Structure 1
Amino acid sequence: MRADPASPPRPRPRPSRFRRLLRWVLILGLALAVLGAVAAGILYTAVASKLPDVETLRDIEMQEPMYVYARDGKLIALFGETRRYPVKIDDVPERLKQAFLATEDARFYEHGGIDYRGVARALWLLLTTDDRRVPGGSTITQQVARQFFLSSEYSFTRKFAEMLLARKMEQNLTKDEIFELYLNKSFFGNRAYGVAAAAEFYYGKQLAELDLDEMASLAAIPKFPSSGNPISNPERARERRDVYVLARMQELGFITPAESAAARAVEMHASPHERPIEAYAPYVAEMVRLEMVARYGGDVLTRGYHVTTTIDPTMQAAAELAVRNGLTTYDHRHGWVKPAETFELAADEDAATAARRLRGIAPQGGLLPAIVLRSGNGTADVVLADGSTVTLDAASSRWTGRNPGALLTRGDLTRVRRIETPAKVAADADADTPVAPPTVTWQLDQLPRGQATLVSLEPDNGAVRALIGGFSFAGSNFNRATQSRRQPGSSFKPFIFAAAFEKGFNPASIVPDAPVLFRMRRGQDWRPQNSDGRFMGPMRLREALVQSRNLVAVRLLDTIGVDYARRYISHFGFDESQLPPNLSIALGTPSLTPLDVTRGYAVFANGGFKVNPWFIDEVRDREGTLVFKENPARACRGCGNDGRPGQPAAPSHVIDGFDLGPASAQRTVTEAPEPAEPAPEPEPRADGQAPAMAERAIDERVAYQMVSMMRDVVRRGTGTAARVLEREDVGGKTGSTNDHRDAWFSGFGGNLVTSVWVGRDDNRSLGYREYGGRAALPIWIDFMRVALNGVPEAPNDPPEGMVRVAVTASGRLMPVGAEGGGIVEYVKAEDLERMASEVDLQIDDVPTEEAFDIF
């Protein structure tokens, strides 16, 4: 049947509402997907273009402290804000690795750097909560990326960059390389960075020595390094160790249930462990720090340098003890001083409360700070910084002549010294005689009013073997050995005498010890005097130095000329501008550091060569590669003035206008010394560098004469106390200044030259009769007794170009073959003619009024 053509067409069925909605959803989804892809592409381009090159992690330099060692490898100091000792992944115990994997990323060796489930959970929490800090499921790889390249900001952009970096790291680095970076970079609280530093600080152990409970405790720290470490919060740390680490290790099969239970049963026992200092030399350590910063820049303390110094730990310890005991003895001679500070203690204040007042007050030189809790009935109770109490009886203050009850009042801040008597061992090991245990006693003491320095170096090369800059570095880091300029007094006279010997004088030359008047430029009169106020008349220069006669030194300087003397003395290493241009330098008025004076005395001891003090032997980087090796200029005993081994003193060798060698042939009066053996060739250095030869400063014959005279200072002069060392090679010179403000002894023996200075920082007097021989020499003796133990005595053989002569007590040459022998001296060959025709110097007319002391 045909349809009616006139009938209207049927309408199409309209899509349902659901289908229309679905279509729009699909269109919108597609649009969003396109927009998302575009946005992701833009974000990726923007972020990826700014990502660092992860290959740099292969050569990353972790911040590591600078290590300073003594010459034998003992640790002197660690410098740096962070504790970090990088380790190789192969040196990390397997159980310790498992502890960190169980805690941080169990699938670390399986995934590609990203835990997608963890990331999704973090994104959901960021969208659905107000908390911006949510667990992000970061893998170890992501944590390394964040630690090295990103900030700690919580944002989608940072998280996206972290993920991209993690992927790049996984493509460029091995899993072990990434894990090693993590273990060395992570922060463990208390300035400890890296697992090795954490093990040492919290447990005092190397990684291989850790127990399972300690490994678990360390693995729990990085999440909460400051508030959850086992020292700041042991309870929280224990909970994390047991619940989050040990339980997880057991769950993953790393440890057995029995091992887990045994580790959980161990009490928390972490405590601070600073890396032990094996050689105490804080002033030297600070010198090294300043020198390293000057050489390599401000970041030198974070680059893991290993610096080996020239310091001998045995000598350094002897120097520390000698200075400490010497200053204590000096201070005790001048009596007790009332404590300068007193705390107002509450009536019911107990020891623990009082002890807290001592926080920030450091021990100094073995003297511990203490607060008096009770005083009376001849005793006193004091509390120490650790809260313990000590009762001081009359024996503790015997040196004061009074009992503690009379010296102290409640609240006084005082000092005490702990004295431990070693245990007595039975003479017969098999006997039943009991062995007395060590005993501890306490002495009431005080910080000394004086200060002291000690510098000891090897004269042949200038290597510093011991250096003390003051009584206590904790009390003052001012290094008086290198920074304090003080007048050396009579210890400067050897330099004046040496200058005169270069001009033709000799130890037998006669100079009057008599009053003299000098008219100064401003019209004032200067009348120098001797320390004892007496005059001994004409005397040989040897005796003048032995007895330290000021007027002889002044007359001698006046004869040779101040300008000449200053130029000559500058050859010892002194800055000529620091030497006053007047006759007062004969009395030791230049302001010099103890280190400068020690270097000057080294010229005498090494045969006439100027050496430069040095204290850094070598520097190595964190990998052990040698960065620097000192090549010090060395003296060459027996070398000629041109420095070549085996050559005698060259004729008419002139330096700065000074003749440093013989100008005429020998003229034997009695006998000449046997020819000296040629000096051996310097040994080649291990690093292949040619040995550096020191510059000659003075004629070796003058050096010989001065050493001979300064040995006499010890034998029968102002330094006779040093005879207790029972060594023939010991010599030196005492020094004191006006009103006993400075006390010195500088001298030599064996292979060392050492200077000791004692004085007060405020330049006040040390006290009545505190001469160099009383205040400084005992310190020098105590040090040298230890430092020279087992060291052969140094010879002092006359060099070529000298003649052995006999003189009378008045300094006249004795005819050859004359009876009586006379006094034996060695003089320079060219000085003989002068000696043969020498006439006595005339004593200037002087007023009869009393001279005054100006030095």
Structure 2
Amino acid sequence: MAKKRKKRKRESYLEQVIYAHENGEDASGGYVFRLIGGFILDFFQTVWMIIKWPILAACALGIAACVFVFFRYGKEINSFREFADECVDNSTEDTFKIFETTYIYDKDETMIAKLSENGDSNYLVYDDIPKDAVNAFVAVEDRNFWTNMGVDFKGIVRVSMDYLLSNGDEVAGASTITQQLTRTVFLSREVSVERKMKEMMIAIRLTKKYTKEQIMEYYINDACFSNGIYGLEAASQAYFGVSAKELDLSQIAYLCAIPNRPTYYDPYDHPERALTRRNKILDDMCKEGYITQEACDAAKTEELTVRTEKQAVGFYNYETTYALNCAAEYLMKLDGFDFRYEFDSQEDYENYEQLYEEQYELEKANLYSGGYKIYTALDTTKQEALQEILDDELSFDREVNSDSEIYALQGAVTVIDNDTGKVVAIIGGRSQDSISSTYSLNRAFQSYRQPGSSIKPLIVYTPAMMQDYTPDSTVYDIDVKTAQKKGVDVSSLTGASMSLRSAVVNSKNGCAYQVFNDIGPKYGLSFATQMEFDRIVPADYTLSAALGGLTYGVTTVQMASGYAALVNEGEFRTPTCITSIVDDNGDELYKEDKAVPVYSSDAAADMIDIMKGVIKSGTAASMKWSSSSSLAAAGKTGTTNESKDGWFCGVTPYYTISVWVGYDTPRTLDSLRGGSYPASIWKDAMLEMTDGMDEDVDFPYAE
């Protein structure tokens, strides 16, 4: 058997020198110099042994990446190149003046809103841009701007090294100013290899066609400074009330902090964050030699006064704010944003919300300058009628907020067409046209409130009937307070027995609690997240959710879409009012989402049938629907603890309507019940929506 060869030990140059000297083999002399030389050689050989594998691994990864890109995108490279050529060849100076008006239309294609920025009057030519602003952007965004080819490969390496050496604390983008301009003008914000390749190709071509001064001019005028504000001049006037030429160094650095992450550095909502980044920019400017240390220190210590009053945005009514929201979210979808409805932790949720807000604000601002035509299903005639209904029903309470003078008691209404799944009317609160800020909060989709018992059909009873429950199953009205005590086995509790149907009709909380315990919160709430209820957090997965006890709550838009799924045989459609979005090139961007099966058709049909009893003889019987219409109707009331929120969500074969009533700052209203003001508003709204329609119809799957 052959002997195993021993691994040869690496010979030390220093040891060789010493060995030769001790054995008289260095007769030529110079022993000290050879010792030093041996030490140096050993040192570099040791260093090489340490770093060679990471270097070889990095090279291998680089080669693998190149091979992957070649085989994955090789055939598409030519199309990317042609796209870049077309973008740049057809571009002119006007291409970078991105202030085109967006129009919003109702169902009859009548314009209901015009969204625009005052771009022409705020545009700065290069010679009018403060030199400190140019230097600030170069220092913090693209240090090699004046010499790079539009793509800074050295910068990519530098940013990677900074990230590694700082253990991830130093996070900077590797995109040049030219690449950022490319994204704003020519590309979406989708994160993908394809977009990055196009971005780099266009940036290189832009650098060949335009001077660096022109590119910087376009960049500074097209940058988003949060709150729908584009360009340095507009930002200067909005935040400091002066022209850009009047800004001092500290103010300039402060404004230049914003475009990096407009929502995160919003001067209104997060002024301290913008200050932190201002200081970083000043340090970078000093490091690059653009300002002295003395000027840097003085600018850091300067106290800035940002105008506290947010500039009025051109919102005219509740339908406009909702249409804008739907359009912005659809553009987010086109740009590859990953909408999420389930979260691992509260921190996970909060991180997602921050990411969402940043992307949403960018898309919303884009709508003000992108030249879109947005067509909707909104019925402005019905909108006006429903607004009057809400106003009249709540007119008994004239109390106003001492600061805003907006009515304290509020309400919201959302109407969905069951046939199309579109939101056709949306009321976000009481009207007060004399107050400009009235429509800044659309409660129908922006106010999240506790739903009370109105959530039961969606997360308790319909899911239960997809398991072993039926409308005639026996359930028990257990004592909820006892069930909530620590250590109590809820499944062992009992109470008054009744059918599941009766429990819904009479809104028995103990029954809902018992059933929810049986099916489990995770299972029950999965139906809400499938229907895009976007503020269900880990803390909500408790039995209290069965009674509407949620951390943040729900909106009337979400509740209407959930009930609409019950009418449509259990199929959910993402709620929206959008029917078409046409870009400034005349291209159609909008595609309808497919309906998603959430509930079984049998369970949905049973739930609708049960909820007919709520209106006929249950908690909503007092609105006397049958005395006003013979049209089939079903619904559910909801009232939260201490009567702080009142809900009624209901359906007919034609429409689904959800109604919420309460104070913006939650407090008790003794007369508020789901079956009082909300049910009354729902009734009048449904009668208005179905006026002139055939009443001799029932739900499609009614027996």
Under a length normalisation based on structure 2, what TM-score does the superposition of the two structures give?
Answer: 0.49
Higher normalized strand content (fraction of residues): 1
Pick the structure with more helix per residue.
2
